[in-house]
Structures are given as C-alpha cells and as structure tokens.
Amino acid sequence: MRALLLRDLRLAMRAGGGFGLGLAFFLIVTVLVPLSVGPRTQLLAEIAPGILWLGALLACLLSLDRLLALDWEDGSLDLLATSPLPLEMVLGVKALAHWLTTGLPLVLAAPVLGVLLSLPGAGYGWLVLSLAVGTPALSVIGMFGAALTVGLKRGGLLLSLLVLPLYVPTLIFGAETARRGAVGMEAETAFLMLAGITLGAVALLPFAAAAVLRVNLR
C-alpha cells in the first residue's frame, strides 16, 4: 500500500494535479475577491470563511478528473482491479494521495490567505480545523465521481456536474463552522455535522466507488 501511495503522489506531481495548481487557484480566488468587493474590511471579514471554503472546494475540484484518468489511459487500472489488493483499499489510497497533494496544502495555506480577507482572529483555529476535517470528504466524494465517469470522453465536465451537488453539505457545514467560530458563536454543532459527513463518506464511498468501477471495467 505504501508503494501505491508513493506512486500516486509522484503521478499527481508530474501530471500537474499536485498542490501547485490547487494553491495557485486558491490564491487567485483570495486575491480577486478583495479587488472585486473593494476596501470594505467589515464586509470582507464577514464573507471570509465562505470565500475560503469555496476556494478550497473549487481547488480540490480542479484535479478530480486526473484521479483515475492516468491509470485508465495506460492500462494500469485494469491491473490494479485484478491485483490481490481489495479495490476498495486501492481507491482509498488514491483518495488519500489526492488529499495529501491538494487538500492538505490548502489547509496549511488557509490561515495565510485569511489575512488577505481580514478574517477575525478568533476564526483562524476553526477555519483550519474545519478544512482539516472537511477536505478529506471532498477527496473521497471526488473519487466516487471519478469512478462514475472514468473512460468517458469529456468526463471532466460531467464529473464536476455530478460531484458539486454532493459537495454542498460539506461546504455548508464547513463554512458555517468557520463563520460561527470567527464571530465567537457556538460552532461545535456545525463542526460535528461536518465530521459526521466526512466519517460517513470515508466509510461508505470507497465501497460504492469500487462497485461502480468494476461495472465500468467490464
């Protein structure tokens, strides 16, 4: 499993789907929002949690079409499907590699970019915590969408249309956790809902993705 994880990490870097692309997009969103809103510090402070969460979600979405496409193109996906390793575990490792190269860098960069949006000091901890807990769900849900669209021409657009509605609960509770924490309100309930979504996705979606992928590979 370690060899598979290292292989996927190298492929993510070489294919341009690593942390550089996601971070660049995240930075662009964070810089453009203040330019479009203007020098309104109070307004920026109010919308900062939602903007940062939306930027992280879209940054994760950029590289989803590469999750299984490279393995499909070179035929290694068939070998992985027939290997002694359970397909569910293989897809789980791929989702982990996606999070390490996309989600984790966004979590680490979010506090720095929060300064550009005048995020209140009380919100930084909750922002990082919500992203750290919520972004794994984005990767696992993206893996399920990639399994549904693997092998399809122009599957990237279809993948985005399929995955975005599934991302909505994570976005709502993640942004609400950060927003409530930023204004000093009780944020534990929204955070527990976010953690429940992530745990449910991690527990169930690798099996659903493996079942769909077996059908697509027949």
DSSP letter, residue 121: T
Angle at 69 between CA 56 and CA 160, to 5 degrees: 40
pLDDT of residue 139 exceeding 70: yes
CA dist 136 and 85 (Å) reads 22
pTM, 2 dp? 0.90
pLDDT of residue 154 exceeding 70: no
Question: What pLDDT score was predicted for residue 118?
Answer: 86
Question: What pLDDT score was predicted for residue 69?
Answer: 76
Q: Which residues of 62-79 are buried (b: 16+ CB within 10 A; e: fewer)?
A: bbbbbbbbbbbeeeebee
Lowest mean pLDDT among 9-23, 32-46, 159-173: 9-23
- Of 212 and 66, the structure prediction assigns the larger pLDDT to 212
Contact at 8 Å (CB) between 55 and 17? Answer: no
Domain extent, residue 160, equals 2-217
State how far Cα 44 lies from the chain centre: 24
Question: What pLDDT score was predicted for residue 86?
Answer: 87
- Of 208 and 72, the structure prediction assigns the larger pLDDT to 208
Give the model's confidence band at 16: pLDDT under 50 very low, under 70 low, under 90 confident, else very high: low
Question: What pLDDT score was predicted for residue 87?
Answer: 87
Contact at 8 Å (CB) between 214 and 81? Answer: yes
User: Cα Rg for the chain, rounded, in angstroms?
Assistant: 18
Question: What pLDDT score was predicted for residue 199?
Answer: 97
Element (H, E) at 92: helix 87-98
Mean pLDDT of 133-140: 95
pLDDT of residue 155 exceeding 70: no
Mean pLDDT of 24-40: 86
Domain tally, the chain:
1
Question: What pLDDT score was predicted for residue 18?
Answer: 55
User: Is the Cα torsion angle 55, 190, 141, 164 positive or negative in sign?
Assistant: negative
